[in-house]
Amino acid sequence: SKMTVKAVKMPCTSANVYPKVPDGGWGWTVAFAFFVVEALTYGIIKSFGVFFNDLMESFDETNSRISWIISICVFVQTFTAPLSTVLSNRFGHRLVVMAGGLLVSTGMVVASFARSVVDMYVTIGVVSGLGYCLSFLPTVTILSQYFDKRRSLVTAVASTGECFAVFSFAPAITALKEQIGWRYSMLSVGVLQLGITACGSLLRPIVIREQEAVKAQPPEESTETKYMLENEQTCTSIESIDSGVDITTSPSNVPGKTKAEPKSEEPKQHGQNPVENNSTPPEPKTKLLDFSVMRDYSFICYAFFGLFATLGFFAPSLYIIPLSRSLGIGKDHSAYILSAMAIAEVLGRVFAGWLLNRKPIRKIYIELVCVVLLAVALVAFPFASGFWGLMICSVYFGFMLGTVAGTHIPLLAEDDVVGIERMSSAAGVYVFIQSLAGLAGPPLAGVLVDTTKNYSSAFYSCAAGMVLGAVFLALVRPCKTGLCHHHHQQQQQQVEESTAGPPPELPDDFIDMDIGKAENSGKGSDSV
């Protein structure tokens, strides 16, 4: 937070300061900005299937080579997630999102003038892909900081922007292509994506100041002073026997500690050092990127879940229109199927947000059930026949996709995974790991389609990835509390035993001198 405040010093870009997480306030404006950013990023990516057949005809390319456009885009978007985290921590979320909006728009506009599929690999794949990363990840991160109790519900509702975009963009772009062609339609989409820059200007940084609450803790000071007095009393009783000789002979004795502790007691009486102590802890949080989450077994399992589940996120949206065309469904009706999927995804996101906002529910288990049902939806596509059969599968898939896609990143803020304090770095690493599946998913589906001459193979590959993701998601909670907890306790016990060591706290010379003094005092009393 310290770096964020330094990054924005202009009056119009001042940070919002709250004593605690507001669960509202300016967060509602940030939620609206996230809604629009979702629509202009993931909404466009999922609607790109509208251009699929046009690009194949114009460039005379196969399914797999056209699929590489979105594949490279998704790979760059996820692979550069740590870069997005670093830039956000250094320059603030606002500037990063605004710069990302310019890159997204530039890549899409230049792609409309492309003469080969390789040109689109560079423009949409690399340039727009980097812009998507710089736009989406900082927005969802800062939105999670503005909400606590309502985080799941608000994030799920705001993430429906991509669903409304697919619902509206797919028919609109299809109709626009009939009038002005796919190139000018793509140019119009690129100009529209400049709205991401405007949304980025609304992302005010948030600062939570809790020093005042820490200052008002007199009971702790009183208990510490009582503890100090008890230590001093016990120390004086020991010194009365040895007359201070133990301080010189055994430096590890308790009186040596009583001399060091009053120094920490004096600043607490003046009330000055508690403020300094509160200002120093935020310094470790200003790390540009924290890879310590990779030592958390629960996060590793969750990252593998995201790796395999990503296989089922993008490919169905790309191949639903070609699949419908292969079944003899017209262009207009194919666009309606994609729109119906988007509407169902809206309902799924809202339902998941409402369900995860309930108090007694373990959110990670709800996510697991949704992932399993999503795998079932992917398997159902090859068995669909006709318009209504494909429509039913699309609606079911869209609903289940909404329950997973709108919650898998915000769930990083839950204690079952990493918690809100490390969410920024965890989100960057998590999305970075997803990049491998984002790169391999669509081309793998394209190769299977070209080999088998059947679009069903693409959905089977997505279902297989989703099943593997469900297996790793089922291990997140046990790794956090069950399977690995006992192992960590054993390691801690070994460390404590090794650090405790043998007997330095009770030196032999101290005991010998005490015995000698006791014998001398006994002889003296006998002589008297």
Task: Please tell me the total number of residues recorded for the chain in this structure.
Answer: 528
Q: Which of 209, 239, 260 is the last residue of a domain?
A: 209
Q: Name the residue with tokens 């794949």.
A: 125
* Mean pLDDT on 246-261: 40
Q: Is residue 248 part of a domain?
A: no
Q: Is 295 found in the same domain as 190?
A: no
194 and 293 fall within a common domain: no
* 161 and 305 inside one domain: no
| Whether pLDDT at 280 is above 50 | no
Look at residue 201 and give its three-state secondary structure: coil
Q: Does residue 360 carry a pLDDT above 70?
A: no
Same domain for 336 and 192 = no
| Whole-number pLDDT of residue 131 | 93
46 and 188 together in one domain: yes
Cβ-Cβ contacts under 8 Å for 426 (sequence gap 6 or more): 293, 299, 412, 417, 418
Residue 112: inside a domain, yes or no? yes
User: Residue 236: inside a domain, yes or no?
Assistant: no
162 and 298, same domain (yes or no): no
Could you tell me the CATH number of the domain that includes residue 432? 1.20.1250.20
**Cα dihedral across residues 127, 133, 139, 145: positive or negative:** negative
24-78: per-residue pLDDT in tens? Answer: 788 899 999 999 998 999 888 888 878 888 888 888 888 778 888 888 888 888 7
Q: What are the backbone dihedrals phi and psi of residue 283, each rounded to the nearest 5 degrees, phi first?
A: -60, -40
Residue at a domain's end among 184, 209, 234? 209
416 versus 83: the higher-pLDDT residue is 83
Q: Is the pLDDT of residue 432 over 80?
A: no
* Tokens coding 266: 């004096």
Distance CA 85, CA 88 (A): 5
Q: Is 271 helix (H, G, I), strand (E, B) or coil?
A: coil
Pairing of strands 206-208, 16-18: parallel
pLDDT at 302: 86
33 assigned to some structural domain: yes
Is 193 within 8 Å of 40 (Cβ atoms)? yes
Measured between alpha carbons, how far is 453 from 160 in angstroms, rounded to an integer?
Answer: 34
pLDDT at 528: 46
Together in a domain, 302 and 196: no
The answer to whether residues 303 and 191 belong to one domain is: no
Is the whole model's pTM more than 0.85, yes or no?
no
Say if residue 54 is in the same domain as residue 142: yes
Render pLDDT for 471-488 as a digit per residue (tens, 0 to 9): 998 888 888 776 555 555
Residue 8's region, left for phi above 0, alpha for psi from -120 to 50, else beta, is beta
Identify the CA nearest to 201 among candidates 56, 98, 64: 98
Evaluate whether residue 255 is within a structural domain.
Answer: no
Task: Say if residues 282 and 1 touch (Cβ distance below 8 Å).
Answer: yes
Show the domain range for 100: 15-209
Is 224 inside a domain boundary?
Answer: no
In a domain, residue 246? The reply is: no
Give, in order, the Cα–Cα distances in Å from 223 to each of 185, 219, 229: 71, 6, 10
Do 201 and 346 belong together in one domain? no
* Residues 41 and 157 placed together within one structural domain of the fold: yes
The model's pLDDT over 178-230, given as tens digits with 9 standing for 90+, comes to: 889 899 999 999 999 999 999 998 888 877 776 554 444 555 444 444 444 44
How far is it, in rounded angstroms, from Cα 314 to Cα 86? 26
Domain total of the chain: 2
Q: What is the pLDDT of residue 218?
A: 52
Query: Does any domain span residue 323?
Result: yes
Of 182, 209, 236, the one marking the end of a domain is 209
CA-CA distance, 477 to 363, in Å (whole number)?
10
- CA torsion 407-408-414-419 (nearest 10°) is -130
On whether both 198 and 300 belong to a single domain, the answer is no
